[in-house]
Structure 1
Amino acid sequence: MKKIVTFALCLGFGLAFSQTNQPETTYNPDNNTENTVTTPVEYPGGMTALRQDISKIFDLSCMEKASGTSKSLTSFDVNPDGSISSISTTGNNPALNKEMDRVMNALKKRWKPATKNGQAIKSTYNVPMTFKNY
């Protein structure tokens, strides 16, 4: 039970402090205004839904032998059709890295892609993960 609570807290903190996308703005010298041209990538249901989906799929047994704090950063591309590709995870625990790769591949929902000037574009997204095992 303690591991599950620790995992939930770490997942929550990791996703709460994850990357946020700022809209790209351009300066229009003709009328001295800035125009927002980019909207960020979004998971269906937002960050809360992403946290819930990851926690449903994540297999805690991969972390049984770990001690201390394990950190990873999963990066992937969100394609214009909402699918994800080029998943890669780096961090100090190979078991956590492998599990995060598996989890991201197992997510079935399509993402809402980033858009630029109304057109869907390919963009990169990062999901940090911190796991503390006592």
Structure 2
Amino acid sequence: MKPLFFCLFCMISSLCFSQQAEEFRNVKNYYNHHRQLLNNEFKKKYDAETNILSKDAIKGDFVFFMKKMDSIENVALIGALLKVKNLEDLRKIQTRGMISGNHPDLISTTEKSADYPGGINALRQEVANLFYIDGVYADEKTVKANVAFIVEKDGTISDVQAQGTNFTFNRQAEIALYSISEKFAPAVFKGNNVRYRFKLPLTMTFD
């Protein structure tokens, strides 16, 4: 009975990992759809207007609406982040009931470490593109965080934890990591895919 239960738990965990990325993907798809609708409506209005000053006013309204949309989307992404972290905490509690330790099956030595398509620079660039800068509130000119996460056996990521002195920067870093579009090539040990802890230092400098 134990092997059957463990196998079932692994299947549920795998589904949980894929749902994590899905939470953020759904939010982004929803708001991107509404951005496209807004863009179409403003373009119709802009193209129909002949007065230069009125065109400038329409353009200003468009920028204002898009910034509001970004802010509203960020609130929804924070909600998704909280939901995902709660699900991960629940999974940890369930795992602890069967096996001792937080991540008992993580391998520290591998034949091949986990790798993002295009390499570490491609990962950094995507995180930078996904980062919502207006969601960071900082008095200092430079903020840093060390982001640690687990690359699962199927290449998805879980347990994203940003450690830094600025809470808002940490939160946006975690959202950006969970929102990446590609899966990792998983780590390999003795010919098998294994779970792997990945670390990514992030720095942002404000002008």
Could you tell me the TM-score, scaled by structure 2's length?
0.45
In the TM superposition, what is the alpha-carbon distance from 1:62 to its structure 2 partner? Answer: 2.3
The 4+ residue runs of structure 1 with deviation greater than 4 A are: none
1:39-73 deviations in whole A, cap 9, x for unaligned?
Answer: 11100111221122112111121235442221101
- Residue pairs, 1:1-134, within 5 angstroms: 24=109, 38-63=111-136, 65-134=138-207
1:6-64 deviations in whole A, cap 9, x for unaligned?
Answer: xxxxxxxxxxxxxxxxx94xxxxxxxxxxxx6111100111221122112111121235
Taking the aligned partners of 1:93 and 1:64, their CA distance within structure 2 comes to 8
| Count of residue pairs the alignment pairs up | 100
Name the structure with the higher strand share.
1
Taking the aligned partners of 1:111 and 1:104, their CA distance within structure 2 comes to 12
- Whether the aligned pair in 1 keeps the contact of 2:137 and 2:168 (CA below 8 Å) is no
SS in 2 for 1:39: coil
Higher RCO (CA < 8 A, seq sep 6+)? 1
Mark the structure with the bigger radius of gyration: 2
In the TM superposition, what is the alpha-carbon distance from 1:113 to its structure 2 partner? Answer: 0.7
Name the structure with the higher helix share.
2
Task: Report the residue type matching 2:135 in the other structure.
Answer: C
In the TM superposition, what is the alpha-carbon distance from 1:125 to its structure 2 partner? Answer: 0.3
Gaps of 5+ in 1: 1-22, 25-36
Task: Report the residue type matching 2:183 in the other structure.
Answer: R
Kindly, what percent of the aligned residue pairs are identical?
25
Task: Report the residue type matching 2:113 in the other structure.
Answer: P
Taking the aligned partners of 2:162 and 2:133, their CA distance within structure 1 comes to 17
Could you tell me the TM-score, scaled by structure 1's length?
0.68
- Whether the aligned pair in 2 keeps the contact of 1:76 and 1:85 (CA below 8 Å) is yes
Partner of 2:21: none
